[in-house]
């Protein structure tokens, strides 16, 4: 066998609509919306720079059917650059770009091969002695394990299984083509190139089962570096797997410790320091989009909660003055009053008691659901990757316990503020 290298990518979601950006004032929406295209360009540049022998894309090139031909033209241009450089591309369709879900199609030039939907098929690269086995989704929802029908490995060759799957269930992602790592290993392939799970994950010391993760994070739940996996193979064995970033917008949860801070200027300084540290980790000319999480026991607890709008404006101003001008997606306050030296609101025990009584009263919960039903009916449909704010997600799920708890916390803060101002 000869030595070779390939790039494994998945979940490009080109031109993803990125619903919900309008809820966050001050975000550079245009730059964020164009990020999936720029990340695709970075993937192609990476393949050219590293002179890989081929590229594997394990599903979800698109987020759904194209809104216009521009999406398909952009993908065609990117794939064309690879083909012109002599780099072969192997791709399959996942749940977001399943054959039944995409109303447009992309004419594939020589050098780009797409796995069919009727049954698993094998593509071979003779001079490298590589065999790739895979099957695209015919329908968006695939509830059965697809791997039992995958072919046996080609003897003496490097065998790659390509599959869009949730594996045996993975976090917030819906279940598609479920299977287990043990079942994949039993196929006898040398590498499993998976897609669908948006966080990078690797199982086993070999053969490796790999999710490269989404190519470009699109919201705060897709935080951290995003990109593709560069795989090096020597004499039939994987000798290196390097996760290389392709993202141009990086989402991050930035912690700000407000413990014992007694002035708003001190809080502002802490925000600036936390953002600088986060910018140092982001690297390059990427846009950092930060969710600031303020925590700790501080005498400013009530004032921060009562003036959250002004706090956000100050945070945005601080960010604008930093190199790279990070964007503020949201501020989450979980600060508390110091235990010693500050009167605690007496309302807490009463609210706790009322909350317990409310959650134990099925008639009251039914009334809450009935009152919210007209509101729920006005909400637009959302995709599995765009659940919106936590409060809305809880309303959709009828999760009354955390909603009532949040309402109680808000009341506590209001009463604390009034007590401190009196």
**Structural domain containing residue 364:** 343-422
**SS3 labels along 81-96:** HHHHCCCEEEEECCCC
**374 and 311 both lie in a single domain:** no
Q: Are residues 348 and 416 in the same domain?
A: yes
> Across 173-182, 330-339, 394-403, which has the greatest mean pLDDT?
330-339
62 and 141 housed in the same domain: yes
Give me the pLDDT at residue 147, please: 87
Are 149 and 237 in a shared domain?
A: yes
Over residues 168-180, mean pLDDT: 68
Res. 413 pLDDT band, cuts 50 70 90:
low
**What band does 394 get if pLDDT is binned at 50, 70 and 90?**
low
Confidence of residue 107 (pLDDT cuts 50, 70, 90): confident
Both tokens of 330, joined, read 């949201």
For the segment 297-311, what is each residue's pLDDT rounded down to a tens digit?
A: 999 998 998 888 899
Confidence (pLDDT) at 104: 58
How high is the pLDDT of residue 419? 46
Q: Are residues 121 and 223 in the same domain?
A: yes
* Whether residues 94 and 46 fall in one domain: yes
Q: pLDDT (tens digit, 9 = 90+) per residue, 128-165? A: 999 999 999 876 567 688 889 999 999 999 999 999 98
Whole-number Å distance between alpha carbons of 32 and 228: 19
Structure confidence at residue 386 as a pLDDT band (50, 70, 90): very low
For residue 230, name the pLDDT band (cuts at 50, 70, 90).
Answer: very high
Q: Nearest-CA neighbor of 386 among 168, 222, 196, 177?
A: 222
More confident residue, 312 or 352: 312
Counts of helices then strands in the chain (DSSP H, E): 11, 15
- Cα gap 352→339, rounded to integer Å: 19
Could you tell me how far CA 241 lies from the centroid of its own chain? 21
- Of the residues 247, 275, 308, which one is the last residue of a structural domain? 247
Please indicate, yes or no, whether residues 64 and 203 belong to a single structural domain of this protein: yes
H-only helix segments in 57-156: 69-84
- CA–CA dist 178, 165 (Å, integer): 6
Confidence of residue 28 (pLDDT cuts 50, 70, 90): confident
With a CB cutoff of 8 Å and minimum separation 6, the contacts of 305 are: 333, 335, 413, 416, 417
Question: Does 353 have pLDDT greater than 70?
Answer: no
Judgement on whether residues 147 and 242 belong to the same structural domain of the protein: yes
Last residue of a domain, one of 222, 247, 272: 247
Q: Are residues 254 and 240 in the same domain?
A: no
Residue 24: pLDDT band with limits 50, 70, 90 = low
- pLDDT(417) > 50: no
pLDDT in tens, 37-90: 999 999 999 999 999 999 999 988 887 666 777 888 899 899 999 999 999 999
pLDDT for res 387:
47
Task: Give whole-number Cα distances, 1 to 130, 143, 235, in Å.
Answer: 9, 37, 5
List the single range of 174-188, 266-280, 282-296, 342-356 with lowest mean pLDDT: 342-356
Q: Which of 310, 341, 372 is a domain's end point?
A: 341
By percentage, how much of the chain surpasses pLDDT 70? 75
Average of pLDDT values for 276-290?
88
The string of DSSP codes covering 22-47 is GGSTT--HHHHHTHHHHHHHHHHHHH
What pLDDT sits at residue 140?
58
Per-residue pLDDT, 103 = 47
Q: Is the pLDDT of residue 328 over 80?
A: yes
Cβ burial 296-317 (10 Å sphere, 16+ → b, else e): bbbbbbbbbbbeeeebbebbbe
Q: What is the CATH number of the domain that holds 102?
A: 3.60.21.10
Outline where DSSP puts E strands in 80-153: 88-92, 112-114, 121-125, 130-134
More confident residue, 418 or 340: 340
Residue 361 sits in the same domain as residue 229: no
> What per-residue string of b and e applies to 53-83 under the rule 16 or more CB within 10 Å gives b?
bbbbbbbbbbbbebeeeebbebbbebbeebe
Shared domain for 320 and 253, answered yes or no, is yes
Give residues with Cβ within 8 angstroms of 360, minimum separation 6. Answer: none
Mean pLDDT, the chain, as a whole number? 83
349/373 same-domain check? yes
Question: In DSSP terms, which residues pair with 160 in a beta bridge?
Answer: 132, 191
- The better pLDDT of the pair 24, 70 is held by 70
Say how many domains are in the chain. Answer: 3
Whether the CB-CB separation of 203 and 209 falls below 8 Å is answered with: yes
Computed on alpha carbons and rounded to an integer, the radius of gyration of the chain in Å comes to 25
């Amino acid at each position: 066998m000869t030595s070779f290298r390939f790039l494994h990518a998945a979940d490009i979601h080109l031109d993803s609509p990125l619903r919900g950006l309008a809820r966050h004032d001050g975000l550079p929406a245009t730059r964020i919306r164009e990020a999936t295209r720029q990340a695709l360009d970075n993937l192609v540049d990476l393949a050219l720079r590293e002179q890989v022998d081929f590229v594997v894309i394990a599903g979800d090139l698109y987020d759904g059917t194209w809104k216009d031909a521009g999406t398909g033209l952009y993908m065609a241009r990117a794939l064309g650059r690879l083909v012109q450089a002599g780099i072969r591309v192997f791709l399959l369709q996942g749940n977001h770009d399943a054959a039944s879900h995409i109303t447009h199609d992309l004419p594939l030039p020589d050098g780009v091969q797409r796995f069919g939907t009727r049954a698993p098929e094998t593509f071979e690269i003779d001079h490298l002695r590589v065999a790739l086995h895979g099957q695209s989704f015919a329908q968006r929802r695939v509830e059965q394990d697809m791997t039992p029908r995958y072919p046996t490995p080609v003897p003496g060759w490097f065998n790659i299984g390509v599959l869009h799957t949730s594996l045996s269930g993975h976090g917030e992602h819906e279940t598609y083509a479920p299977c287990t790592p043990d079942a994949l290993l039993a196929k006898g392939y040398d590498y499993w190139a998976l897609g669908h799970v948006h966080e990078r994950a690797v199982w086993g010391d070999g053969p490796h089962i790999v999710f490269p993760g989404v190519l470009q994070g699109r919201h705060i739940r897709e935080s951290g570096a995003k990109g593709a996996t560069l795989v090096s193979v020597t004499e039939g064995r994987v000798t290196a797997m390097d996760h290389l970033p392709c993202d141009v917008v990086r989402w991050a949860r930035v912690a700000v410790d407000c413990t014992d801070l007694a002035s708003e200027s001190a809080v502002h300084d802490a925000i600036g320091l936390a953002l600088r540290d986060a910018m140092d980790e982001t690297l390059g000319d990427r846009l950092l989009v930060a969710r600031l999480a303020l925590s700790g026991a501080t005498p400013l607890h009530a004032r921060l909660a009562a003036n959250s709008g002004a706090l956000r404006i100050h945070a945005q101003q601080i960010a604008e003055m930093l190199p790279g001008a990070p964007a503020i997606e949201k501020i989450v306050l979980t600060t508390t009053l110091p235990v010693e030296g500050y009167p605690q609101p007496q309302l807490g025990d009463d609210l706790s008691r009322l909350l317990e009584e409310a959650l134990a009263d099925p008639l009251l919960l039914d009334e809450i659901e009935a009152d919210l039903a007209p509101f729920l009916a006005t909400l637009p449909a959302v995709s599995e990757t765009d659940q919106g704010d936590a409060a809305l997600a809880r309303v959709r799920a009828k999760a009354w316990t955390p909603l009532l708890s949040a309402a109680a916390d808000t009341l506590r803060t209001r009463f604390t503020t009034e007590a401190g101002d009196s």
